[in-house]
Amino acid sequence: MHPHDDAATCVDQLRTALAANGITLPSLGTDLPTFAGAYGTAPLISLGNCNEATARALTAALRKAAGQ
């Protein structure tokens, strides 16, 4: 499997998991410059920017999942 396919699958799964918690990160995606790199590193997932409300929702979901 090509690294791009793995990264795209990861992004889709993360988007689905976030949506299940009512969270949307509009700029979630693969970091395209990492595919152009000559170092052979795995592609990065770009979480991007979000507003304060989204950051708080993400924090709450992660805390709940961690049992805090």
Report pTM: 0.79
Residue 40 CA to residue 65 CA, distance in Å, equals 33
What is residue 1's predicted lDDT score, i.e. its pLDDT? 53
What is the pLDDT confidence band of residue 43, given thresholds at 50, 70 and 90?
confident
What is residue 52's predicted lDDT score, i.e. its pLDDT? 94
pLDDT tens profile 11-42:
999 999 999 999 999 999 988 887 776 677 78
What is residue 41's predicted lDDT score, i.e. its pLDDT? 77
Q: Report in angstroms the alpha-carbon separations of 65 from 14, 25, 35, 43, 61.
A: 14, 18, 32, 26, 6
Residue 38 CA to residue 57 CA, distance in Å, equals 37
